[in-house]
Amino acid sequence: MSVETQKETLGFQTEVKQLLHLMIHSLYSNKEIFLRELISNASDAVDKLRFEALAKPDLLEGGAELKIRVSFDKDAKTVTLEDNGIGMSRDDAVTHLGTIAKSGTADFMKHLSGDQKKDSHLIGQFGVGFYSAFIVADKVDVFSRRAGLAASEGVHWSSKGEGEFEIATVEKADRGTRIVLHLKSAEDEFADGWRLRNIIKKYSDHIALPIELPKEVAAAEGEEQPAVEWETVNRASALWTRPRTEVKDEEYQEFYKHVAHDFENPLSWSHNKVEGKLEYTSLLYVPTRAPFDLYQREAPKGLKLYVQRVFVMDQAESFLPLYLRFIKGVVDSNDLSLNVSREILQKDPIIDSMKSALTKRVLDMLEKLAKNEPEQYKGFWKNFGQVMKEGPAEDFANKEKIAGLLRFASTQGDDGEQVVGLADYLARAKEGQDKIYYLTGETYAQVKNSPHLEVFRKKGIEVLLLTDRIDEWLMSYLNDFDGKSFVDVARGDLDLGNLDSEEDKKAAEEVAKSKEGLVERLKTALGDSVAEVRVSHRLTDSPAILAIGEQDLGLQMRQILEASGQKVPDSKPIFEFNPAHPLIEKLDNEQSDERFGDLSHILFDQAALAAGDSLKDPAAYVRRLNKLLVELSV
């Protein structure tokens, strides 16, 4: 063994300690995935070498036959996995094996519950990677040398997975990485050729380079030990290059786990080969669960890019719009050059054509899922719905298609679940209804009980209830669907069109005319607090509401802008009152201007609270209300 120099002991990052503990104790029921994870990492390392060697052929050091080898020693109870990929320098080893650089780590750790069964699913969303080795090993040795470095710059990393690791500089003749797992006493079943072969065939048959196991042969004459020959045990061809008819569902699922570093099966996938003006193959997956870094816009995202079967880059972002950033998979092009960069991708017209086609393919896949597997689509929406709502603003060309995939809560439900599609809404719309009605707010309880819905309940008209922070912003880009325009029931002067009879309209006009005096008194009393005062056609039970001007920002958008430190344009609400309500009748008969003013402001503040807004002067509201209570008790 080579002499070790510059040896030091370092501590794991806190998150690594937690992850190690969790994996060792939570994944005992699926131990064999350690080999899948280590082979997947080795495959990535080989892909990276192959790509870097395009520009620097000397990195191959004469060994251009790229492969992964898995061996075992029953007596020593070890399993060894070796690749001749890119390898690691000393700094690489400290960074990659001692810390978790993945964005979303903190969120991941917060979600750990201590329940081993639940936490094992969380690991799947995060990806287990190298640390899965400690599921079966009580000590792991890693010997590595980065391609291009001298043999004297090899590195030996060693740990028992208990909080610290040792690292030293060693001599290593060949580039690449060798991982030696010292198996726990109860895990020696893995030091077996038949067992390892079956795991590789089960999880890693799709890996597009040879995975070799030793094949024992009889010793040659005069030799004491039998010679070792290596045999390839996987198919060793890129799965996406094979015809769909030849690929089993289980193979697609295992390839997804490799390419996405996920633990669970995907929800759906689409495998497609395009020939003609453009030639490329795509294999796209919809994950079952959202990753923890889904809402971190700087988090890595995108497809694995291959050019003529050669790996070029991870997270190629240019092939799908940002609202589809959760999609995983590969795209393999025959039309791009091997030295393509991220900058070139952003400007290449070929990419625009591919992006358009791949986007439509994902949306078609989601449409199919929504139509054929509504329960699975419900799960998809819970995980990715808010991201999909970014679509209409970002992807004008597919706005109608995206709108058809959106799901909302509505007045038809009673639990706030977002399950109503726009096509379903229109299918059960009232005869003569030519609008899609919706209401935005902070919480489901607030919008469900909003006074703005009173006339809709009376007439049996369904209203969509939108409570996600993004919803008002979404609706500013979503003007219509299937030829029917959207109407915010809290905005402007509500017009129910054909849903109101001519008699209703005439009666409303007469009532408004009869209350012109009260309108003027209220304008005077409320002054600068309101933009307008008018008789309401929306109310049946409540005395008053605040409506939003047609061009004004709603409460959600104002709060988003304020939270981001942006200046919010000044706007005043429209005060609408219900002329048939007893409080309004009393107000109309009130002779004292002072008392009329107090009552008007109390009604205004109550309407603001019902809309989910905060009061500009809560003390004044309390003072007026207390004054009224005292008068009533006298």
In this structure, are residues 321 and 363 in contact, taking their beta carbons and an 8 Å threshold?
A: no
Binding site annotation covers 443? no
Q: What is the dihedral of CA 558, 564, 570, 574, to 10 degrees?
A: 10
The proportion of the chain whose per-residue pLDDT surpasses 90, expressed as a percent, equals 44
Instruction: Quote the pLDDT of residue 222.
Output: 61
Distance CA 280, CA 335 (A): 8
Binding site annotation covers 126? yes
41-45, 173-177, 284-288, 299-303: the lowest-pLDDT one: 299-303
Instruction: Quote the pLDDT of residue 115.
Output: 59
Scanning 449-592, the segments in alpha helix (DSSP H) are 454-459, 471-475, 502-514, 516-526, 555-563, 582-589
Instruction: Quote the pLDDT of residue 221.
Output: 63
Q: What share of the chain is helix, strand, coil (3-state, %, to 5)?
A: 45, 20, 35
Distance CA 41, CA 62 (A): 23
pLDDT in tens, 278-292: 899 999 999 998 877
More confident residue, 556 or 114: 556
Q: Is the pLDDT of residue 347 over 80?
A: no
Question: What does the block give as tokens for 620?
Answer: 């004044």
Binding site annotation covers 41? yes
More confident residue, 306 or 414: 306
Mean pLDDT, residues 232-239 taken together: 87
Binding site annotation covers 342? yes
Residue type, 478: L
Query: What residue has token string 């209401």?
Result: 439
117-131, 225-239, 282-296, 299-313: the lowest-pLDDT one: 117-131
Mean pLDDT, residues 29-33 taken together: 76
Binding site annotation covers 127? yes
pLDDT in tens, 140-158: 999 999 999 999 999 999 9
Binding site annotation covers 161? no
Query: What residue has token string 């029931």?
Result: 489
More confident residue, 402 or 547: 402
In this structure, are residues 304 and 311 in contact, taking their beta carbons and an 8 Å threshold?
A: yes
Binding site annotation covers 311? no
Mean pLDDT, residues 395-424 taken together: 92
More confident residue, 345 or 122: 345
| DSSP-based three-state secondary structure for 22 | helix
Question: DSSP string spanning 345-411?
Answer: HHH-HHHHHHHHHHHHHHHHHHHHHHHH-HHHHHHHHHHHHHHHTTHHHH-GGGHHHHHHH--BEET
Instruction: Quote the pLDDT of residue 508.
Output: 80
CA distances from 566 to 311, 447, 474 (A): 43, 26, 19
Confidence at 107, pLDDT banded by 50, 70, 90: low
Q: How far apart are the first and last CA of the chain?
A: 99
Beta strands 484-488 and 435-440 are parallel
Q: Which of 534, 533, 522, 509 is nearest to 602 (CA)?
A: 522
Confidence at 101, pLDDT banded by 50, 70, 90: very low
Q: Is the pLDDT of residue 109 over 60?
A: no
More confident residue, 195 or 505: 195
33-37, 113-117, 417-421, 623-627: the lowest-pLDDT one: 113-117
More confident residue, 164 or 336: 164
Distance CA 28, CA 24 (A): 7
Instruction: Quote the pLDDT of residue 271.
Output: 96
408-412, 549-553, 597-601: the lowest-pLDDT one: 549-553
Phi then psi for residue 166, to 5 deg, are -105, 145
Distance CA 600, CA 580 (A): 16
Domains and CATH numbers, the chain: 5-235 (3.30.565.10), 240-382 (3.30.230.80), 399-493 (3.40.50.11260), 502-633 (1.20.120.790)
Instruction: Quote the pLDDT of residue 338.
Output: 67
In this structure, are residues 466 and 448 in contact, taking their beta carbons and an 8 Å threshold?
A: no
Instruction: Quote the pLDDT of residue 513.
Output: 87
Instruction: Quote the pLDDT of residue 116.
Output: 53
Distance CA 547, CA 575 (A): 6
Binding site annotation covers 483? no
Confidence at 634, pLDDT banded by 50, 70, 90: low
Binding site annotation covers 37? yes
Instruction: Quote the pLDDT of residue 270.
Output: 96
Mean pLDDT, residues 170-186 taken together: 95
Beta strands 328-333 and 303-307 are parallel
Binding site annotation covers 245? no
In this structure, are residues 168 and 7 in contact, taking their beta carbons and an 8 Å threshold?
A: yes
Binding site annotation covers 177? yes
Q: Is the pLDDT of residue 607 over 70?
A: yes
In this structure, are residues 506 and 458 in contact, taking their beta carbons and an 8 Å threshold?
A: no
Mean pLDDT estimate for the chain:
86
pLDDT in tens, 48-78: 898 888 889 899 886 778 999 999 999 999 9
Confidence at 117, pLDDT banded by 50, 70, 90: low
